[in-house]
Structure formats: structure tokens, C-alpha cells
A and B are shown apart, each in its own frame.
Chain A
Amino acid sequence: MLDRIGVKKLEDLYSDVPAEFLKKGAYALPDAMSEQEIRDYFASLEAMNASLKVFVGQGAYDHYTPAVIPYLCSRSEFLTAYTPYQCEISQGTLRYIFEYQSMICALTGLDVSNASMYDGPTAAAEAMKMAIACTRKKTRVLLSKALLPHVIKVVETYAKFHGVEMGYLDASEGQTSLQALREELSRGDVAGVIVPSVNRYGIIEDHSGFADAIHAEKAILVEYCDPSALAVVKTPGEWGADIAVGDGQSLGLPLCYGGPYVGFMAVKKEHMRKMPGRIVGQTVDKEGRRVFVLTLQAREQHIKREKATSNICSNESLMALWVTIYLSLMGPEGLREVNRISSDGAHYLKAELLKTGKFDDVFPDKPFLKEFVLKPKAFPGLLQKRLEEAGFFAALDTEEGYVSFCVTEKRSKEETDRLVAIVKEG
């Protein structure tokens, strides 16, 4: 090969690199490991982590993963393919993205979904940018203080650099305040409003009147959703939202210390061409057969460069496949049953914890599903430590001084009773 190229040795292939930049000496890396050594080493790392039953949510939910999903997602035709630019040999990827988009639209009640975003918080940040792009001469985006903390932080980071001013909506009563919304809107500079469908306290929010007030000011309503809960709670479409975003993690993705997850975004049709990210559409080939392609690409960075709607290129395609297979397996009844068991478990746990007398209820009249907060009567550090020692990750501290709990269908009644018993002992 060197002869064919016309050089004598491999080093000659770098003759164009100034000699001072060629790395001299050894790299500060370990010696190479064999496959068995890697297994042993990772086993030792794995053993350093705690193995706990998870009773916490806050944006990452420990739902059950059907065995079929990792099995199918590890098929190398899906796993080792690139972005489906050559559609003639990528119909597998393109079809599942089309199915994914269809399912996201079904869940959210909106018209158009893209092919996925990095995660829920970055999808919310993209929605913030989109609100600015969809409105004229508006410079401010409002965030509900009841959004999950990590969503607020990521949106703030993007806003700071993108030059978007932020406003905040009070939620001290456990739900985003319509009164606060009206006051902020009256300033006339609001481009968009981001509110949670189910909020950081686990409460199902009532957004009656939100869309009307927001649209009267020609602003955009963005709903941040837990897609699993959309099986039972009012959809962004039903609330009159323009954009729905959230994290698909609750649709059977492993917790995996925070990623990979999958952000989703769905919008009303009139905002379609302002949407970030890839979109798959249906068409026909030369023989008239139904086929799928990447479409509306005139929005994207490889065509529009600095004028693109976003810089996103790689997304979370394989996790979109994961979600698509999950929703296929669960179907409408399975997803409702997941919500039923989780909600029953959470309501049971909350009632039992209150019976211990060690907590005050914070929002007693507000409806919730799988997640709730309580106010501990004593400093919670000791309690958390005892729970950890007993094998539970629970009672996570919140910024407000509450502790947060979550129950999914993976938590049995026996586990839940044991957790309560530990609390009682303290």
C-alpha cells in the first residue's frame, strides 16, 4: 500500500505536519487491555456503585423495559447505521422514525413531530428558541417555576447565549399561576410560555385559560410533558398548546445515570417549517411504492448553515426506536395500566408516609399520578441514609425543602411497605 502511495513508511504520510506538532514519547494512557481484562475491570467499577430500589423520579423514571426492546435495538442493521441519508438502503430507520413521529403526535395531540432531540431539557430550550423565531419583535420567554429544575437550568443556559430574556411564573400553590401569567403577558414582550403538564411536585396542572391568554398576546404556548402520563392526562393538543416537548425516557428507557435519553418535540402544522431537527416524510419511489425519506431539509444546518432553525445534527435515533417498540408493545391499554399501577402505588405510599406522622402534606388537594412531595418534620439527611442502607433511593431533597418520592409499576407493594417500615423506625 505504501508503494502504491509512493512513500516509504507510515510516518511519511504526515510529512505535511510541522515536525514540532508530531507527538513525541508515550501517551499518558494505561496499557491495552484484552477483552477479559476489560470485563474484569468494568465489573470492579460496577461493584463500586450502590444497587438500590429507586423511589425517585424528578425527570428520570424507573419504568419497566420489555425484554423485546434491547433485543431488537441491538440488531446491528439499526445499531451500526448512520443517519439515513441514502434512503434506498435505510428504509428500516426511516420507517421506524415515521412510526415514532406518528406515535408522538398521537400522544401529544399535535400535528407534526420531528425525529428526536437530545433530551427533554434541550428540547425545551429548542422550543424557547422556536417561540422567539415564530413571533415578531418579542424578546422574552416565561418559564413556570414548577418545571423540573434541570429543565429550567438548561433553558437558562441556552437563553443566556441566544440573547433571550427570561421571566418566571409563580407556582407556590403547587401549580403555575394563571394570575401571574396574565400579569407577565400584559407587558407585551412575551414570545412564548413554557409550562409543565405534570410538574416538579408531581401535580397534574390545570391549564384552563392559558392558551387563550397566551394566544391573545400572539405568543406561543409550550407544554413540557411526561409522555407516559399523556396516556391519562389532558394532552397539549387538548390544552391548545402550539408546541409539546419532553423526555421520552419514561417510555421504558433505562435510567443509565441520565443518558442516553430522547427528547421529543411536536408542533402545530403552522409552525412546521420553524421546527428544529430531522423530519421523515412519506412519498413514492419510481415504481410507485410507498417509501420514506428525510424531508423539509431546507430548515437544517447542512443546507442553511447559520440560517438554520437549529444546529442539531445527530439526535437520539436509536432511543426513538426504543420508544417506538415500547409503545407498540404496550399499546393503549398497557400504557394506561402502567399509569394505574404507578398512581395506585404512589397514592398508597403517600398515605402510609403521612400516617407515620413524620411529614406534613404540602399540596393536599392537588391531583397527582406517580410522584409527590412531602415536607419532613425533621432534617431528612438521617432518614435518607437509613433508607439507602436498607436498599432504597428515596426522599430526594428539593430546592423548596421538601422530599420527593416516586412509585412506578416496578415497585411492589412489599417493597413499598418495607420502605414505610424503615421510615417508621426512625
Chain B
Amino acid sequence: MKYYDKLIFELSKEGRCGYSLPQNKFPASPEVPLQLRREAPLGLPEVSEPDVVRHYTNLSQMNFGVDTGFYPLGSCTMKYNPKINEEMAALQGFAGLHPLMHAGLVKGALKVYQEMNKALAAITGMYTFTLDPCAGAHGELTGLMIMRTYHMQRGDFKRTKVIVPDSAHGTNPASAAVCGLEVVEVKSLENGRIDVEALKPLLTDEVAGIMMTNPNTLGLFETEIKTIAKLVHEAGGLLYYDGANMNPLMGVVRPGDMGFDIMHLNLHKTFSTPHGGGGPGSGPVGVAKHLEDCIPDLRVSGFHGNFGVILRAYAYILSLGKDHLKKVGQYAVLSANYIKECLKDKYKLPIEGVCKHEFVFDGLIHDGAHDDVPGATTLDVAKRLLDYGFHAPTIYFPLLFHQALMIEPTETESKETLDAFIGVMRKIADEAAQDPMILHEAPHNTPISRPDETTAARNPILKYQDAQ
């Protein structure tokens, strides 16, 4: 990767353009009336097609994707994105459909929705799905709306609290707040699981439900799930499943069978659609049969969700079929446990035992601190990994540990890739023990070095015009 310092605005030369529009054969229409007309200059760059292609190609070369290398980003399930999916989503017969076309004009698209719904229900053990939400957090919000609708339809208006474990993804409490619910936090035990005894007194008649991800964000299966489901249901609440951690359960365990009433899936994680630098995603929400009637009233996105993403995920499901599905979860869990066992003599493993798709270290065992030199932190390890051509794991999450380093390899990596990563992680641990300064100053081989984030937040420059 090499540093490239242009912004598209800086390539602008008056009079250049990169478009080709048809000749206008219509008679001229009236101008926009003066009092409704834009007065300000448009302030867009004027560049040629080759300028644009070179600029964005150069920008892309400062980026790291799954196609560049190993991306063990915990909670993000950065599996390989099959290219057939892209080809199917680009088909003109789908891409050209207007969202307001009536059912008779879009029979193929509706068949995709129906079959996708059925496939997701089969994989998760839920009854039916809405495919409207555009991302995981959007799915959470939709799921919580369904939860509230269920209680309101029963005339139970006092259930305005939702229980969220302290290890939960940040989107869980944030989605609850957007949905008008009050968050009640439940603590985790030393072994990383929900404290059932601490949960019991929280289960009042004001509780709408509980949000859980299983395995949780430590990559640990919530072994008391049966008891938790029973307690929550007895208290009149519902169980919500955050599908961000669904990958290890693919082909092995179904959330519906564990007692969850509502769940979302992240098609851009578990179902191999690309993350696109932060989206578009898709966050279908599934419900148990008794909640089927709570979906229809909800309009959470403009039209029918991210159809283009749904097409990709459906191509993936068809390529797996009922047989390969069973390997997804198992291989993801195999990869994670293998890395964990090969590194736990160099990095602190706070909770022993078999993990699921991911696990969390709490920093280095020997961080190299001596005299005035501070020890290497999790941030330092992450930055040093970039030098060796790997993406960093998720860092400083979950919040249960100070030096959290959350590693999720996924099922699509070969043993050779995992071994190479393990080798580099061991080397970094040795470097830290010998001279943590190498890590403090990392990365050394990336297009840029560490940025000054404090100044960025204190004196925000948020557009090109501000920098002029």
C-alpha cells in the first residue's frame, strides 16, 4: 500500500466533465422560478473520466479488505464473499425493478423473498421473517418494536424495560433507547455467562423482555439458556436473540429451539454479503408463530429493505444447501479454538474452556514494561499486526476486560492462514517482551502512521471546504 494524498476536489479543472448524456430532443421547459432557484454555486469537482478512475483506484489501494488478507475482527464475521453473489445481484432483471411495481410485475423478486424467508426460518427455527431492516441495529430496533407491539396488543402497557447483559453489543442498549425502552443491565459471572441469580429479581411485570446473543460476546455459549428462557417467559417477557453471533450455530443449533421469540440476522456477517466499508447490510427479523401478527403494521424502511443484499445472501444459501450448512458453524468454531489454544501461553485468556466462533484475550502475558518504558497494550498489538499484513482483531470490546482483544477467524480460512497469523501473534508477543517500543510506534509499514485523533475531535474539519 502506498500513501496517496489527493482529494477529488483538488483534481478539478473548470470545464472538464466525465459524463455522457443523450441529446435533449424535448422542447425547452420553463426555468425554475427565480424565488425557488438555487443561487449558490454548486461546488462539485469538474473532472474527466480517467481522472476519476485513477483517483478512486489510488484510494482503493490504501484499503484492506477480506480479499486482501486475513481479517479476524471479532463480532464482525469477516468471511470470504463469494463472487457469484455479486454477479446475481447485478442482473438487470432485478436491478431494474421499481419498488412500487405491483406484485404481478415482480413475481421473480417476490419468489426470492418467499424462498429466503423459508430458508431463514429453517436455519433459525423461527416461524417467519421480515426482510425490511437494512442492518443489524435496524433489525434490533424492529425486533424491539415487535416486542412492544406484542405487549401493547395484549393491553399490557407497563412493560417498558428491557434487560441487557453488560457484555452486550453497544447497539443493544442503543436500539432499546430508540424504541422507547428503559435499559436494565444484568451482570455477568466470573465465567462470562449471565448471572441467573442476579437476573431473577430484575424480572418484574415491567419487563418487556431480554436481549441476548448466544454465544455471547466473549464467544461463550450461555449454558443456562434453558433456565433463562423459562424465567423470562414465566415473568411474561420475551427473549430477543441478537444474531450478530449466529455464525457458530449455523447448521448446529437453532435460536428458535432455545426458546427465543424474536431475532435478527446480519446477512452481511453470517450470510457472506460484503461489508462494503460499513454497509449496505441487511438485518432480517424472525419471530416465533405467536408473534406473527405483530409484524404487519411496522414500516421501518422506505420500501422492501436492501433487496440487492438479500439476493446475494440467497445465492449463498443456495450454494450451501442443507449439507454444507452443517460445516459452517463447526469449522468457524474449530478455527477459533485452534487459534486460542496456540496463543494462550502468550496472551492472557481470562476464561478457560471451549469457545465458539470467537474468543477474547485480555492483553499480553508479558507486556515488556520495564523502568520508564510502559508495557505494550492491546492497541499496540493491533497496530503491529497491520505491519505484518493482517487486519487487527476487535479491540477494547467487550468492556468486561481492560485489554480486550477479540478474535474471530471464520470458517473460510485455511489452516495455513491460521498458522501464519498464530506465528505473527507469537512474534509480536516476543517483540513486546523484548522491546515494547517497537509496538508503541507501530504501524511502520502502512500508508500512514498513527493519527492525531484528539485534534480531529477538538477542531473538527469535516469537509473539504473547512480545510480551505
Query: Distance in Å from the Cβ of A317 to the closest Cβ of chain B?
Result: 4
A-B contacts counted at CB < 8 A amount to 642
> Which residue in B37, B177, B300, B337 is a CB contact (below 8 Å) of A13?
B337
Query: Distance in Å from the Cβ of A304 to the closest Cβ of chain B?
Result: 7
CB <8 Å contact, A334 and B21: yes
Interface string of A330-346 (1 = CB under 8 A from B): 11111111101101111
Q: Which residues of A contact B53 (CB under 8 A)?
A: 68, 71-72
How many interface residues does chain B have, given as a range?
Answer: 35 or more
CB <8 Å contact, A328 and B134: no
CB <8 Å contact, A319 and B279: yes
- A314–B141 CA distance with the chains assembled, in angstroms: 13
Interface size on A, residues (CB 8 A): 197
Q: Any chain B CB within 8 A of the CB of A354? A: no
> Which residue in A68, A81, A237, A300 is a CB contact (below 8 Å) of B40?
A237
CB <8 Å contact, A56 and B100: yes
- A105–B88 CA distance with the chains assembled, in angstroms: 35
Stretch at the interface among A84-92, A177-185, A187-195, A214-222: A84-92
CB <8 Å contact, B333 and A13: yes
Stretch at the interface among B102-110, B361-369, B370-378: B102-110
CB <8 Å contact, B173 and A305: yes
Q: Any chain A CB within 8 A of the CB of B155? A: no
Q: Which residues of B contact A340 (CB under 8 A)?
A: 24
CB <8 Å contact, B84 and A238: no
CB <8 Å contact, A161 and B462: no
> Which residue in B55, B86, B92, B447 is a CB contact (below 8 Å) of A88?
B447
Q: Which residues of B contact A161 (CB under 8 A)?
A: 144-145, 148, 178-180
Q: Any chain B CB within 8 A of the CB of A10? A: yes
Q: Any chain B CB within 8 A of the CB of A170? A: no
Q: Which residues of A contact B279 (CB under 8 A)?
A: 116, 118, 260, 314-319
Query: Distance in Å from the Cβ of A201 to the closest Cβ of chain B?
Result: 15
CB <8 Å contact, A29 and B322: yes
Q: Which residues of B contact A60 (CB under 8 A)?
A: 98-100, 303
Interface string of A215-242 (1 = CB under 8 A from B): 0000000000000001111110110000
Q: Name, among B40, B52, B177, B456, the residue most crowded by chain A CB atoms within 10 Å (CB to CB).
A: B456
- A258–B113 CA distance with the chains assembled, in angstroms: 13
Q: Which residues of A contact B330 (CB under 8 A)?
A: 10-11, 13
Interface residues of B in 272-292 (CB under 8 A from A): 274-281
Closest chain A residue to B39 by CB distance? A238
- A361–B11 CA distance with the chains assembled, in angstroms: 47
Query: Distance in Å from the Cβ of A394 to the closest Cβ of chain B?
Result: 10
- A412–B465 CA distance with the chains assembled, in angstroms: 38
Stretch at the interface among B57-65, B194-202, B233-241, B427-435: B57-65
> Which residue in A29, A72, A77, A332 is a CB contact (below 8 Å) of B325?
A29
CB <8 Å contact, B449 and A96: no
> Which residue in B49, B66, B107, B268 is a CB contact (below 8 Å) of A329?
B49
Using A15-B354, A232-B37, A302-B170 as known contacts, say yes or no to A81 and B122 having CB atoms under 8 A apart.
Answer: no
Q: Any chain B CB within 8 A of the CB of A51? A: yes
Closest chain B residue to A55 by CB distance? B98
Q: Any chain A CB within 8 A of the CB of B38? A: yes
- A42–B310 CA distance with the chains assembled, in angstroms: 13
- A190–B56 CA distance with the chains assembled, in angstroms: 44
13 contacts between A and B (CB under 8 A): A20-B226, A23-B251, A47-B93, A75-B56, A92-B59, A98-B464, A150-B299, A151-B302, A257-B94, A283-B456, A285-B451, A314-B278, A318-B277
Given A62-B98, A258-B303, 17 new contacts (CB under 8 A): A10-B333, A13-B334, A14-B252, A15-B354, A27-B251, A29-B119, A29-B325, A50-B104, A72-B60, A82-B73, A91-B3, A98-B464, A103-B44, A111-B463, A254-B96, A314-B268, A327-B45
